Amino acid sequence: MTPLPGLAIDSLKHWPVRFPKGHLIFDEGDVSDCIYRLQRGCVRLQVNSVHGNRQIVQFVLPGDIFGLCPERRNTAAEAVTTVMAHRFSLKSVMEEGLSSPRISLELLRNATVAYQDLAHHIEKIVHLSAVEKVRDFYVWLDQRVEAAGLPPRRRPPMPQRDIADYLGMAPETLSRCIRQLRVARENEALDAA
């Protein structure tokens, strides 16, 4: 049933939870009392500005851990699709987890890799053109889907509005870029024939 790679944290007690599409799992600033490992679906981590602007900083896919905050949530988490996840009590993770080097290493690694990914994401947002950002995103998505052993996607699990808010561009621009990439792909398919 679970094709996900095993993690050390799985040995800790946890409960299955389910969130409907669009559900706010936690908001930035909320008191943190648990962490999650995603089993099915997609979650977006985001921050919101005072002007109502939304910036998505990470798409969580099956197998990923999210929500590790010692006190308050550093981002908001919303269910992009219907979501199945495992919930770990923060208290038990802190007590039992930190006494196990394997688990604390795993959590620490998770945090540093998330930071690294975000750093490179900024670099791309700033230095890449709109089309390059979109191409890059779909390459990343395909890799992740394949690595998770999921069936190859027909359509991304998240709406274009979310992708636009992740890549830092207007939905209209994203739509135009997708079209442009589709046309380019059809052309090189014709050239091959």
Partner DNA sequence: CGAAAAGTTGACGCTTCTCAACCTGCGTGG
Partner DNA sequence: CCACGCAGGTTGAGAAGCGTCAACTTTTCG
Q: Which stretches of the chain bind DNA, using CB under 7 A?
A: 129-131, 159-161, 168-176, 178-179
Is 115 within 8 Å of 108 (Cβ atoms)? no
Residue 114's contacts (CB-CB under 8 Å, 6 or more residues apart) are 58
Q: In what order do the strands lie in the sheet with 43-48?
A: 24-26, 76-79, 43-48, 54-60
> Is residue 101 part of the contact set for a copy of itself (CB under 8 A)?
yes
Exactly one of 24, 108, 139, 184 binds a copy of itself (CB under 8 A); that residue is 108
Exactly one of 70, 152, 154, 193 binds a copy of itself (CB under 8 A); that residue is 70
Looking at beta carbons only, is 68 or 177 nearer to DNA? 177
Exactly one of 24, 122, 147, 184 binds a copy of itself (CB under 8 A); that residue is 122
Residue 44 near which of a copy of itself, DNA, none (CB within 5-8 Å, type-dependent): none
Which residues of the shown chain bind a copy of itself in the complex (CB under 8 A)?
28, 45, 47-49, 51, 53, 55, 57, 68-71, 74-75, 94, 98-99, 101, 104-105, 108-109, 111-116, 118-127, 168
